[in-house]
A and B are shown apart, each in its own frame.
Chain A
Amino acid sequence: MTDLATENWKDSLMVEPPLGVESNQPLSESRAKRPIEIARTRLLVAGTIFALCFAVLGVRIVDLAVNDEAEIARSTTGREAGTLGLARADVVDRNGMLLATNLPTVSLYVDQTKVIDPEDAADKLHAVLPEYSRDTLIKRIAGDARYVWIKRSLTPEQEYQINRLGLPGFSFEREERRVYPQGPLFAHVLGYTGIDNRGLSGVERGLDRSLAASDRKTPVMLSLDLRVQHILAEELSRAIVDFKGVGGAGVVLDVDSGEIIAMVSLPSFDPNGKKQQDDPNQFNRVTKGVYELGSTFKAFTLAMALDYGVVDLDDGYDASMPIRIARFTINDDHPENRWLSVPEIFMHSSNIGAAKMALDVGATRQRAFLKKIGLLDSIKLEMPEVGQPQSPTAKEWRDISTMTIAFGHGVAVTPLHLASGIATLVNGGFLREPTLLKRPAGVPAPGTRVLKAETSEIMRRLLRLVVTDGTGKKASAPGYLVGGKTGTAEKSSATGYRKKSLISTFVGAFPMNRPRYVVLAMIDEPKGNEATHGFATAGWTAAPLVSRVVTRTAPLLGVGPLDEDAAPVRHEMMVNELSSGAKLASF
């Protein structure tokens, strides 16, 4: 470089300032001036470059000041993005009450290359963290990895103690931990997150993307109502204790929007505590568990027969004799042993009547109807725990299936399916996907008409009839015009149905003149007690539960009481076509 420079030096100098300018000047003067002129010109170039560089620094600083959030996200690596990305949105109920949030916490990690004496460090740490054995600690401390977690979420006391040890190589990382202020109350709905704050179950998993992506200023608002959830959980757990059940499920569903207002599965678990994936208490009986829900299905059988025009309210069937088909016998649990009108079949929950009615509709149409109202497919919900209904295939769906399915055996669905189906029966005939997210008020929820409006109208009266005069009298909540249907099913097992293991369900809606909410209560394996004269059937166990839930929650849900005996209300709920004079008298 140097040699070349000296050689070409003189010639190249002649090129620099424009030739036209210098030719006017005396040669000697231009020679003397030229080097300094060149230096000045080039100094301008160097100065400009410097100015540009400093300007870039300035712009960068302003840029950092203006959009800091985006910059952090872009510039960090995977691991750091994980720790920084912990900013997870809060979850609140429909009234803004806090259901899930984050708390800052401190975690301990080790840079193994900086540890001087792993055994000594393990001894000292073991004294502070006795839950880890010395060998476990040595395994984590010895080696040459730069970043190994020792323990996540230390208590302040542990942090202080470890800090005092002054061990080289150990550092703390500020993190955030997900906490659920309501504890077990929303455990199945919310689910929980893993150690890296990614959702593992429930809404945390189902909405993981939006919870992790959204900036924490906008919490995710669920459709649930903390107050209603609390009442439902309280009544359900009381019933489980009273009847020594093994579990229970409860739902409150808005019939017009599909919003789930409350959803309880018992027993529950503490989402803030230690969680094990195989803990049976984490099983969600409302959305995941599928059950043969028994006589509650007669509501669908009635609606189906009425909607297809197979029966009218003044039709009826002979229920005096059990049906014998193949090796089965179909009996009535509350036998009247006579001809029953269509409303009476529903009111007295006659298996014989329902079976005959379904047979008249036919297997193909029955299957199509159940599919149409969503009972044969799993529900799309904002959580991964959704159960797939069990039903016979079209080929297996024979006459015997048609008859048993008419009273709720042979098809297993989740309690949420049942609640959603009843909502369709009473809301004017619209199928709406249940949701856990709050819908904007005043905007009609999307829905498909699957039932004639008149059918829905008749079903309201029939469901009310069950509570006024049928098997569901104990569900009555004076002033709120409750209607509904009981269902007591024997749990199936590998060896057949087990007589003493029941699933007692009551599914109701209120107020029946203009239904707003469906309330479902299911008790798993209830046992009768003195107060129920030993009965464990739905009318004695689940129905009174629903009555109490309605009485307590209706004021919170904005449903005012009305005079059930007022003439216009009675007229709206009137069912004329009853064969027994005694029954007619009550109308």
Chain B
Amino acid sequence: MMLATRAGDRSLLGRWWWSIDRWTLIAVMLLAAVGAILTMAAGPSAAQRIGLAPMHFVQHQFLFLVPALAVLFGVSLLSPKNVRRLGVLGFAIGFVLLVSTVLLGSDVKGATRWITLAGITIQPSEFVKPCLAVTAAWMLSLAREKPEVPGRLIAALLYVGVCGLLVLQPDFGMTMVAAVIGFVQFFLAGLPLILVLLAIALLLGVAFGAYTLLPHVAERIDRYLDPSTGDTYQVDVSLRALQSGGLLGRGPGEGSVKNLLPDSHTDFVFAVAGEELGLLVCLGIVALFGFVVLRGFSRAFKDSSLFVVLAVSGLLTQFGLQALVNMGVTLQLLPAKGMTLPFISYGGSSLIATALAIGMVLALTRERPQDWRPMP
């Protein structure tokens, strides 16, 4: 019966609805809802602190929620082939923007990450990441289909290029994320084990190099290893907030950490969640992120297209890694590192870019006849 309905429904939306991964969709919607609640809680005090109208961040976030959901839905309608095309196009534009950001971007808190386009300030690195993952996946799968194309070399160059630009900003966190995505994609594409080990050593080496060469990175890590060496105010406050919330939280809007932490609406939004909604909701948020990542992986596992497997795993690695790092910092499991919590932290670029990535994941994991191959 069910099958008949599916088969019988030939409309665009009908086919979308019956082939999309509805569970992931629901999980993502829940995350967006939690994000909206927390922006309403943390936004006003953050806005007042920097002299904006109280509802500034709230209005912006809701304003961005509409295009974000549109992007998510629109992209999820695409066929894998069109996702690939979108990815390549997006990467091309994003890369250019990234270069211009480094050359003439605006300086926010000591780093040039933002660029103003037609009156809108955007952070190109947010958009480059998902498009890069798709483009690299295509190149890596193309190398399989057509051995004469130097796909792996191209993919490697793309990653090196993006990482280089991110270091110049400097945005060490994003660089690490991009490097890890690249590593996962190469790993899945069959990188020999000896090279896998080498790559891990390289990542560790880069991390160590950053520790020794970049003072602000070293300071943060020292602080994490030995809290007495520096000001651990933010992390301490966030941890205390999490605990003061208890299991059920103080109730939305009742917390105080948002008044104490400058980045409560972005990097430390998870602490606000813990204080106001309680540790049970925090567990729920962790579970939702874990679910989205693992559900996507399992859908990809069943897919016979290498491009889909690589693209989905790259996109979800980015999504999952940002979530892990953000929550790990708030829970004092990792050194302090500013990273947005997908769908939940305030930020238009981050929200739309995440919607783009998840839209791509949804599009790629739709049920389809399994003989599809990316066209060369």
Contact = CB atoms under 8 A, between A and B. Distances in A.
Interface in B177-218: 184, 186-195, 198-199, 202
Interface in B126-167: 144, 150, 152-153, 156-157, 160
Contacts of A494: none
A10 to B, nearest CB: 9
Interface of B is mostly: helix
| Contact count band on B | 35 or more
A78 interface: yes
B157 A35 contact: no
B202 A64 contact: no
B14 interface: no
B339 to A, nearest CB: 14
A6 B151 CA distance: 10
A55 to B, nearest CB: 8
A1 B243 contact: no
A146 to B, nearest CB: 7
B192 A12 contact: yes
Contacts of B227: 75-77
A9 B328 contact: no
Given A46-B187, A62-B283, A2 B152 contact: yes
A4 B157 CA distance: 14
Interface string A19-57: 000000000000000111011101110110011011111
Nearest to A11: B192
A56 B333 contact: yes
Interface string A261-298: 00000000000000000000000000000000000000
B103 to A, nearest CB: 26
Interface stretch (A65-73, A209-217, A504-512): A65-73
B239 interface: yes
Interface string A521-534: 00000000000000
A16 B290 contact: no
A14 to B, nearest CB: 10
A389 B206 CA distance: 71
B8 to A, nearest CB: 32
B59 interface: no
Contact of A8 (B195, B300, B320): B195
Contacts, number: 144
A40 B301 contact: yes
Given A2-B152, A36-B306, A39-B306, A50 B190 contact: no
B100 interface: no
A61 interface: yes
Best-buried of A42, A54, A56 by chain B (most CB within 10 Å): A54
A5 B152 contact: yes
B292 to A, nearest CB: 10
B246 interface: yes
Given A1-B198, A35-B189, A43-B301, A54 B247 contact: no
A80 interface: yes
A479 to B, nearest CB: 59
Contacts of A65: 243, 246-247, 279
Interface string B303-347: 011100110010001001000100110011100000000000000
Contact of B313 (A36, A38, A46, A64): A46
Given A61-B331, A64-B242, A5 B191 contact: yes
B287 interface: yes
Given A1-B195, A39-B310, A43-B309, A75 B294 contact: no
B331 A64 contact: yes
A319 B332 CA distance: 85
B116 interface: no
B84 to A, nearest CB: 17
Contact of A71 (B157, B243, B289, B310): B243
Given A57-B324, A57-B327, A78-B228, A12 B190 contact: yes
A382 B228 CA distance: 34
A58 interface: yes
B287 A42 contact: no
Nearest to B245: A65
B231 interface: yes
A238 interface: no
B358 to A, nearest CB: 16
Interface of A is mostly: helix
Contact of A68 (B243, B287, B293): B243
A50 B282 contact: no
A60 interface: yes
Contacts of A13: 190
Contacts of A39: 188-190, 306, 309-310
A36 B304 contact: yes
A68 B278 CA distance: 13
A96 B242 CA distance: 35
Best-buried of A5, A42, A76 by chain B (most CB within 10 Å): A5
Interface residues of A, number: 44
Nearest to A80: B236
Given A5-B191, A6-B152, A46-B184, A57 B286 contact: yes
Given A46-B184, A76-B236, A64 B153 contact: no
B297 interface: yes
Given A2-B152, A43-B297, A54 B198 contact: no
B85 interface: no
Interface string A301-318: 000000000000000000
A42 B328 CA distance: 25
Interface string B266-282: 00000000100001001
Nearest to B235: A75
B240 to A, nearest CB: 6
A75 B332 contact: yes
Contacts of B247: 65
B232 A1 contact: no
Contact of B324 (A2, A54, A68, A76): A54
Contact of B286 (A2, A38, A58): A58
B274 to A, nearest CB: 8
A35 B328 CA distance: 34
Nearest to A8: B192
B290 A54 contact: yes
Contact of A50 (B300, B304, B320): B320
B160 to A, nearest CB: 8
Given A2-B152, A80-B236, A54 B286 contact: yes
A1 B187 contact: no
Contacts of A62: 279, 283
B48 interface: no
B156 A1 contact: yes
B309 A75 contact: no
Nearest to A76: B236
Nearest to B298: A47
Contacts of A6: 150, 152-153
Interface string B226-259: 0110011000100110110011000000000000
A72 B289 CA distance: 27
Contacts of B153: 2, 6
A473 B166 CA distance: 97
Closest 7 CB pairs of A and B: A12-B192, A54-B290, A2-B156, A68-B243, A47-B297, A65-B279, A38-B190
Interface of B: 144, 150, 152-153, 156-157, 160, 184, 186-195, 198-199, 202, 227-228, 231-232, 236, 239-240, 242-243, 246-247, 274, 279, 282-283, 286-287, 289-290, 293-294, 297-298, 300-301, 304-306, 309-310, 313, 317, 320, 324, 327-328, 331-333
Given A43-B297, A50-B320, A53-B324, 4 more contacts: A1-B198, A5-B152, A12-B190, A50-B290
Interface of A: 1-2, 4-6, 8-9, 12-13, 15-16, 34-36, 38-40, 42-44, 46-47, 50-51, 53-58, 60-62, 64-65, 68, 71-72, 75-78, 80, 146
14 contacts: A1-B156, A1-B198, A2-B152, A2-B160, A4-B195, A5-B152, A35-B144, A38-B190, A43-B188, A43-B301, A47-B298, A53-B320, A57-B327, A61-B274
